[in-house]
Amino acid sequence: MIIQNNKNTTALVLKWILICTLIGIFTGSASAFFLVALELATKYREDNNWIIWLLPIGGLLIGLSYHYWGKSVVKGNNLLLEEYENPQKIIPLKMAPLVLFGTLFTHLFGGSAGREGTAVQMGGAIADQFTRIFKLDDSERKTIIIVGISAGFASIFGTPLAGAIFALELVIFSKISYKSIPLSLLTAYIAYFTVEIWQVKHTAYSIPFVPEFTTTTLFWIINVSILFGLAAMLFSRSTHMWGTLFSKTIAYPPLRPFVGGIILAIAFYYIGTTKFTGLGVPIIVDAFSTANAPYDFLLKIVFTGFTLGAGFKGGEVTPLFFVGATLGSALSLIVPLPIAFLAGLGFVAVFSGATHTPIACTVMGMELFGIESGVFIAIACTVAYFASGSMGIYKTQIVRGPKYHLYEKFKRKGTDLL
């Protein structure tokens, strides 16, 4: 009997190692292709700014593709969270190519969007196919979805530890099988190294000088982190508001990104700059050394919320990095702390507030900027998490834990903080 149990355990371990390896390789390869294609699309747009006038056509193509072929996957990241909470149907594999080409079109023609949503959706769709292949039950399927999310996040940003924790923390207040933790880590690292093998590079950021821990430094960090949290709240509410407005005013879904594309193209023409199109990575990098205008982060919030709300594809996380880094950079004009330090704190703190994932964002900050700033990053991410309200960028994310209980306590006292 003992020998039989050992054989069963060994077979189970080997099965999951095989599943994680395959998911990591397939998702990492998909992310590597996506990163290269995205770089080419971005470069072409930057060399040919006239293409922004074709944004309505790109939007119409995206709208039509989802209307006729992608109704079952149009919810994107929210579908992954819904299937985790209440498993119903295996996520169609077509989610991956639809979101991939939808995002590439969005960036090619100048929409303001990110890329993590694409990688996470590709990872989730690829991973869930193994539910059918290995005949997994609902409990195991939850693990598969976590594994897919971690692989997508880790491979697109080059932060494997943060990717694994992000996937777990995103659903942390639901029931999680303990086996999901090592499997999430394993898959995240496999996906990360797969991208490395394909020799695709990630953007490097750094905080060259970290101030000493003093009461004055702590005072300023807490105050700027509250602002980071409020910026995260504004971003989340803006994205949901534009989505609701478009769905209420334009009944035919494919026309939403078409109309939105017309308005965006005209807006970009009149503001006279393309700094708010696409990912905005060069602006993020510059924010660590050159102070931004105090309105840059607000315009990125508006353009990204409008782009995604209209039905264009992409993610929210890189725009969140943009918002946080440029806000921190602008604050360096009045806050007596180093510009790169403030930009780095904003980079991860706004992300923390908008996704309710302070632990993952703290780890990500240390992976990107070094462990020396770890304590300050943890403080910033925690304060922004509490200051950002209960609404995040993912509508179906269940928000529980300390922030939830804090807001419920205030509501019972008749104070609505939101």
Tens digit of pLDDT for each residue in 312-340?
A: 999 899 999 999 999 999 999 999 999 99
Reply yes or no on whether the pLDDT at 160 is more than 70.
Answer: yes
Scored b (16 or more CB within 10 A) or e, 168-182 reads bbbbbeeebeeebbe
Mean pLDDT, to the nearest integer, of 337-348? Answer: 98
Alpha carbon separation from 14 to 19, 20, 123, 139, 147 (Å, rounded):
9, 10, 21, 18, 16
Q: State the pLDDT at residue 281.
A: 95
- Residue from 281, 14, 27, 341 nearest 160 by CA: 27
Q: pLDDT-derived band of residue 406, with 50, 70 and 90 as boundaries?
A: low
Chain centre to alpha carbon of residue 12: 32
Q: What pLDDT does 59 receive? A: 97
Is the pLDDT at 179 greater than 90? The verdict is no
**CA-wise closest residue to 377 among 401, 356, 360, 399:** 360
Mean pLDDT of 89-116: 96
Spatial contact of 169 and 159, defined as CB atoms under 8 Å apart? no
For 383, the token pair is 């304060």
What pLDDT sits at residue 149?
A: 96
Mean per-residue pLDDT of the chain = 92
Whether residue 17 has pLDDT greater than 50: yes
Domains of the chain: residue spans and CATH: 2-197 (1.10.3080.10), 215-412 (1.10.3080.10)
Q: Is the pLDDT of residue 246 over 70?
A: yes
Question: Which contacts of 395-404 are long-range, i.e. CB under 8 A and separated by 24 or more positions?
Answer: 395/78, 395/240, 396/75, 396/78, 396/81, 396/82, 396/85, 397/81, 397/170, 397/171, 397/355, 397/356, 398/81, 398/85, 398/171, 398/173, 398/174, 399/173, 399/356, 400/173, 401/172, 401/173, 403/356, 404/173
The band of 403, judged by pLDDT with boundaries at 50, 70 and 90, is: low
Provide mean pLDDT across the span 386-393: 89
What does the alpha-carbon distance between residue 252 and residue 274 come to, in Å, rounded to a whole number?
A: 29
pLDDT digits (tens, 9 = 90+) for 61-74: 999 999 999 999 99
Least Cα distance to 304 among 353, 254, 354 occurs for: 354
Give DSSP secondary structure letters for 132-168. Answer: HHTT--HHHHHHHHHHHHHHHHHHHHT-HHHHHHHHH
Tell me the average pLDDT across 72-91: 93
- How far is C-alpha 93 from the geometric centre of its chain's CA atoms? 20
Tell me the C-alpha distance between 13 and 175, whole Å. 21
3-state secondary structure at position 295: coil
Confidence category of residue 360, pLDDT binned at 50, 70, 90: very high
Q: Inter-axis angle of helices 116-133 and 138-157, to 10 degrees?
A: 150
Residue 207 is predicted with a pLDDT of 95
**Confidence at residue 173, expressed as pLDDT on a 0 to 100 scale:** 54
Query: How is residue 8 written in tokens?
Result: 């069963």
The predicted model gives 337-362 an average pLDDT of 96
